[in-house]
């Protein structure tokens, strides 16, 4: 497989919203890197794919709406390598699953108990036998390998600052699910600018531990989960609709919508003085929106 030298470009765009109170905001549009391979997922995959150069294919796992499996399957189709997806739960149809199949990914449903065993020492054994030579990628493309691939986001922002008329910025703001993307940005910043992670999942998901295993300082995690992962409420959906109408930015309710709404609340609470320049990372995930509308 590979090598993969496709390094997509994420546009950096100014955002005008009536709640910014003098804070200047720009969005790094990972949702716009490619029509099919969207979001932080490609960047998290790059290191894993580099490690898989002698592999016959890639095997990974996720839920039935997984943005990670979606990006992996799309990359497999684009670059011509076989992919296998191990899925949480029981067979179901939805737009994400439809795409995974259309991209040629082999799917196996593990049930809920089977999926819970994914961290067990012998979990991969039968799959290695079933798919010899396939390289396993952890859930969500995580770990240090995934994080390091996100470091290029810092370079991409720095290279585009002049388009905003900025010579620098003060901090980053992004959604955190496992904290891998955040850790990659923190590593690449090496303390130069703080990184705020808006948690899309509650405390008991262990994001703080994940992140502290990868980086020691230079970030802050804030709860943005609104009562639980994938919990959606009318004010959140209103906010997403209003934002799209106000500035054309599409958001989804699980990660990017919650993250931007949490930023609004923090600005209203006075966390950032007027003139602060923030980079919001749009981590993609819009493919998952179809689960809410269809
Ligand atoms: C759209 C989207 N944004 C953000 C995240 C969070 O990324 P991370 O797991 O690297 O914190 C994910 C996946 O977990 C995602 O699918």
What are 60-116's pLDDT values in tens digits? 999 999 999 999 999 999 999 999 999 999 999 999 999 999 999 999 999 999 999
Ligand 1 pocket, residue 57 CB under 6 Å:
no
> Is residue 176 within 6 Å of ligand 1 at its C-beta?
yes
pLDDT of 293 reads 46
The pLDDT assigned to 288 comes to: 86
Structurally, what CATH architecture does the domain formed by 41-141 represent?
A: 3-Layer(aba) Sandwich (3.40)
pLDDT at 71: 95
Extract the tokens encoding 102. Answer: 């259309």
Residue with the smallest CA separation from ligand 1 atom 13 is 177
Give 198-242 as a 3 state SS string.
Answer: EECCCHHHCHHHHHHHHCCCCEEEEECCCCCCCCCCHHHHHHHHH
Domain 12-40+145-293 and domain 41-141, same fold? Reply is yes
- What is the side-by-side order of every strand in the sheet holding 219-223? 12-15, 24-29, 277-282, 171-176, 195-199, 219-223
What is the Cα–Cα distance from 197 to 218, expressed in whole angstroms? 11
- Beta strand residue intervals within the chain, DSSP E: 12-15, 24-29, 57-62, 83-87, 106-109, 134-136, 171-176, 195-199, 219-223, 277-282
CB atoms within 10 A of CB 124: 15
Quick check: CB of 178 below 6 Å from ligand 1?
Answer: yes
User: What pairs with residue 66 in β-bridges?
Assistant: none
CA–centroid distance, 153 to ligand 1, in Å, is 14
Distance of CA 112 from the midpoint of ligand 1 (Å): 21
Task: Return the number of other C-beta atoms located less than 10 Å from residue 6's C-beta.
Answer: 14
The catalytic site residues sit at 66
Rounded distance between C-alpha atoms, residue 3 and residue 253, angstroms: 35
Residue 285 CB less than 6 A away from ligand 1:
yes
> pLDDT under 50 in the chain at which residues?
293-294
Determine the pLDDT at residue 294. 36
Q: From the CB of 49, is ligand 1 less than 6 Å away?
A: no
Predicted pLDDT at 110: 98
Residue nearest ligand 1's atom 14 by CA: 177
CA proximity to 287, closest of 240, 254, 265: 254
Q: Identify the architecture of domain 12-40+145-293 in CATH.
A: 3-Layer(aba) Sandwich (3.40)
> In angstroms, how far is the first alpha carbon of the chain from the final one?
36
Ligand 1 center to 182 CA (angstroms): 9
Cross-strand partners of 12: 28
Phi, psi of 26 (to 5 degrees): -125, 150
181 lines ligand 1 (CB under 6 A): yes
Closest CA to 30 of 153, 136, 142: 153
Q: Which atom of ligand 1 is nearest to the CA of 207?
A: 11
Residue ranges per structural domain of the chain: 12-40+145-293, 41-141
pLDDT at position 290 is 83
- Confidence (pLDDT) at 2: 67
* Ligand 1 atom at shortest distance from the alpha carbon of 255: 3
């Amino acid at each position: 497989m590979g090598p993969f030298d496709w390094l997509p470009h994420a546009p950096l765009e100014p955002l005008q919203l009536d709640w910014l109170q003098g804070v200047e905001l720009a969005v790094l549009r990972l949702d716009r890197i490619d029509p099919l391979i969207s979001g932080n997922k490609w960047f998290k995959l790059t290191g894993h794919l580099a490690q898989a150069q002698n592999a016959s294919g890639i095997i990974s796992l996720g839920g039935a709406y997984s943005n990670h499996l979606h990006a992996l399957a799309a990359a497999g189709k684009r670059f011509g390598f076989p992919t296998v997806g191990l899925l949480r739960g029981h067979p179901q149809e939805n737009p994400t699953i439809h795409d995974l199949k259309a991209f040629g990914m082999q799917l196996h449903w593990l049930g809920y108990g089977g999926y819970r065993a994914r961290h067990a020492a012998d979990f991969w054994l039968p799959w290695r036998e079933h798919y010899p030579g396939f390289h396993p990628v952890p859930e969500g493309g995580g770990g240090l390998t995934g994080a390091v691939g996100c470091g290029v986001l810092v370079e991409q922002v720095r290279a585009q600052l002049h388009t905003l008329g900025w010579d620098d910025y003060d901090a980053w703001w992004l959604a955190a699910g496992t904290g891998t993307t955040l850790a990659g940005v923190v590593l690449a910043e090496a303390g130069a600018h703080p990184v705020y992670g808006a948690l899309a999942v509650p405390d008991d998901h262990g994001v703080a531990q994940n992140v502290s295993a990868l980086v020691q300082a230079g970030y802050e995690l804030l709860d943005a989960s609104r009562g639980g992962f994938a919990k959606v409420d009318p004010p959140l959906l209103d906010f997403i609709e209003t934002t799209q109408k106000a500035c054309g930015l599409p958001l989804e309710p699980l990660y990017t919508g919650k993250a931007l709404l949490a930023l609004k609340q923090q600005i209203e609470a006075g966390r950032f003085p007027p003139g602060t320049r923030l980079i919001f990372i749009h981590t993609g995930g819009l493919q998952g929106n179809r689960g809410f509308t269809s």
